[in-house]
């Protein structure tokens, strides 16, 4: 009886080994669809790859709470008029929520839910901007990167930056420390998801938009994502106003999407005319109207509620066409 069981056990082991080897040698049946996503030949998509670093937060309610408290606290700390007691309370709030690390974890979760990279890929495809075979990848600057989703696209050559990096592929540098003169016209794409709203003042937000426009080449694309409430619930902002201010920087909105929480914009950097003589009288009148609008709104914003989201353009930020 013992000899029989020994022979049977050997047969089972042989069968298991043969099956494992066969599975390893079997050709992969995964194919890639038009969006660059892997799916099985039978039509079923593979599960998405795991992120390179796991999010520390899983509750959207908690993420929104952390994001709101972080923004309120940092706004207080950066305010010139905040009292000592208010600053102390803001610092205590930051400590209680876990500081910038918790904020970045919350941002990673909310961004993954809103799929900003997926929308960017779809717009580039729809506008015919994805390079073909043999063409160079689009040089891309991702501002405020909290994951590597954009880097997954082979048609993008991504430089990802953040003020505090959580990944070795993301460069730790402040956007405002980039040498804008040396990088003028350097990028085909600039991607900014939930970043402009984190800048402390309306004046600095205007500076960020102007610098972004300067870094884009003519006909380059700027992908901007903002919390919907910043555009629709602020006494200093509206959809029409934001669109006109972007155009005053030389950025024309060509695609737009809105969800209950986020507004998505794709803007094209317009080519600057060789001189004012090359502009039609109608174009000059439109430019003058935009610049007058930007100046009027600047005066109103500077006198308005500075706690509300706003964008202020200085004369130096105006594109002049």
Q: Where a domain ends, among 70, 88, 114?
A: 114
Is the pTM for the entire model greater than 0.75?
Answer: no
Evaluate whether residue 31 is within a structural domain.
Answer: no
CATH number at 172 reads 3.40.50.150
Evaluate whether residue 26 is within a structural domain.
Answer: no
Contact 38, 32 (CB under 8 A): yes
pLDDT grade, residue 40 (50/70/90)? very low
pLDDT for 87 beyond 90: no
Whether residues 93 and 144 fall in one domain: no
Mean pLDDT of 229-242: 95
pLDDT grade, residue 19 (50/70/90)? very low
Evaluate whether residue 155 is within a structural domain.
Answer: yes
Q: Given this model, what pLDDT does residue 91 score? A: 83
Mark out the alpha helices in 266-312 (DSSP H runs).
Answer: 281-302
140 versus 17: the higher-pLDDT residue is 140
Mean pLDDT of 43-71: 58
pLDDT in tens, 104-147: 666 655 555 547 899 999 999 999 999 999 999 999 999 999 88
* Strand duo 171-172 + 251-258: pairing: unpaired
Give the whole-angstrom CA distance, residue 147 versus residue 145. Answer: 6
Whether residues 307 and 158 fall in one domain: yes
Bridge partners of 268, per DSSP, are 221, 252
Residue with tokens 């003589």: 277
Evaluate whether residue 48 is within a structural domain.
Answer: no
pLDDT for 30 beyond 50: no
Give the whole-angstrom CA distance, residue 133 versus residue 139. Answer: 16
And the tokens for 131? 């390079």
Q: Given this model, what pLDDT does residue 37 score? A: 42
66-75 b/e with 16+ CB inside 10 Å = b? bbebbbebbb
CA distances in angstroms from 23 to 12, 14, 29, 49, listed in the order given: 17, 14, 12, 21
205 versus 305: the higher-pLDDT residue is 205
Whether residues 150 and 293 fall in one domain: yes
Q: Given this model, what pLDDT does residue 36 score? A: 43
Percent residues over pLDDT 90 in the chain: 59
Burial of 41 (0-12, 13-18, 19+ CB in 10 A): exposed
Whether residues 312 and 210 fall in one domain: yes
Q: Tell me the CB-side half-sphere exposure of residue 317, using CA atoms within 13 A.
A: 26
Evaluate whether residue 256 is within a structural domain.
Answer: yes
Evaluate whether residue 99 is within a structural domain.
Answer: yes
Mean pLDDT of 243-262: 96
Whether residues 74 and 150 fall in one domain: no
Residue with tokens 């990028």: 187
Q: Given this model, what pLDDT does residue 166 score? A: 82
Where in the sequence is the domain holding 67, given as residue range(s)?
A: 55-114
Evaluate whether residue 70 is within a structural domain.
Answer: yes
Whether residues 283 and 178 fall in one domain: yes
Q: Where a domain ends, among 66, 96, 114?
A: 114
Residue 269: enclosing H or E segment and its boundaries? strand 262-269
Q: Given this model, what pLDDT does residue 97 score? A: 80
pLDDT for 267 beyond 90: yes
Mean pLDDT of 29-38: 42
Mean pLDDT of 36-51: 46
Whether residues 106 and 175 fall in one domain: no
Q: Where a domain ends, among 97, 114, 131?
A: 114
Mean pLDDT of 2-20: 49
pLDDT in tens, 149-181: 999 999 999 999 999 888 899 999 999 999 999
Whether residues 94 and 134 fall in one domain: no
Q: Given this model, what pLDDT does residue 72 score? A: 73
pLDDT grade, residue 48 (50/70/90)? very low
Task: Say how many domains are in the chain.
Answer: 2
Count Cβ atoms below 10 Å from residue 62 Cβ, excluding itself: 15
Whether residues 108 and 192 fall in one domain: no
Whether residues 105 and 126 fall in one domain: no
Mean pLDDT of 82-104: 79
Mean pLDDT of 210-226: 98
pLDDT for 75 beyond 70: no
Whether residues 147 and 175 fall in one domain: yes
Evaluate whether residue 16 is within a structural domain.
Answer: no
Residue (of 27, 25, 26, 30) closest to 44 by Cα position? 30
Q: Given this model, what pLDDT does residue 63 score? A: 66
Cβ neighbours of residue 2 closer than 8 Å, sequence gap 6 or more: none
The overall average pLDDT reported for the chain is 82
Whether residues 209 and 258 fall in one domain: yes
């Amino acid at each position: 009886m013992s000899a029989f069981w020994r022979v049977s056990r050997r047969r089972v082991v042989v069968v298991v080994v043969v099956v494992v080897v066969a599975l390893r040698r079997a050709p992969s049946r995964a194919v890639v669809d038009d969006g660059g996503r892997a799916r099985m030949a039978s039509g079923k998509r593979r599960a998405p790859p795991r992120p390179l670093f796991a999010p520390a937060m899983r509750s959207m309610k908690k993420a929104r709470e952390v994001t709101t408290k972080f923004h309120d606290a940092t706004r207080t700390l950066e305010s010139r008029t905040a009292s000592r007691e208010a600053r102390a309370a803001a610092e205590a709030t930051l400590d209680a929520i876990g500081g910038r690390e918790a904020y970045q974890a919350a941002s990673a979760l909310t961004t993954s839910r809103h799929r900003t990279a997926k929308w960017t890929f779809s717009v580039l495809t729809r506008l015919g901007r994805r390079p073909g075979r043999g063409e160079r990848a689009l040089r891309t600057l991702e501002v405020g990167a909290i994951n590597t989703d954009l880097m997954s696209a082979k048609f993008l050559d991504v430089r990802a930056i953040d003020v505090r990096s959580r990944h070795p592929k993301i460069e730790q540098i402040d956007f405002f420390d980039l040498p804008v003169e040396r990088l003028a016209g350097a990028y085909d794409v600039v991607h900014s998801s939930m970043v402009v709203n984190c800048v402390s003042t309306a004046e600095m937000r205007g500076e960020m938009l102007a610098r972004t426009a300067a870094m884009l080449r003519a006909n380059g694309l700027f992908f901007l994502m903002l919390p919907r409430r910043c555009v629709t619930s602020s006494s200093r902002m509206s959809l029409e106003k934001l669109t006109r201010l972007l155009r005053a920087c030389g950025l024309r909105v060509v695609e737009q999407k809105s969800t209950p929480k986020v507004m998505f914009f794709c803007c094209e950097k317009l080519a600057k005319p060789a001189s004012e003589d090359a502009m039609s009288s109608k174009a000059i009148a439109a430019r003058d109207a935009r610049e007058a609008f930007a100046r009027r709104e600047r005066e109103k914003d500077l006198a308005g509620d500075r706690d509300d989201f706003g964008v202020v353009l200085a004369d130096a930020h105006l594109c002049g066409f």
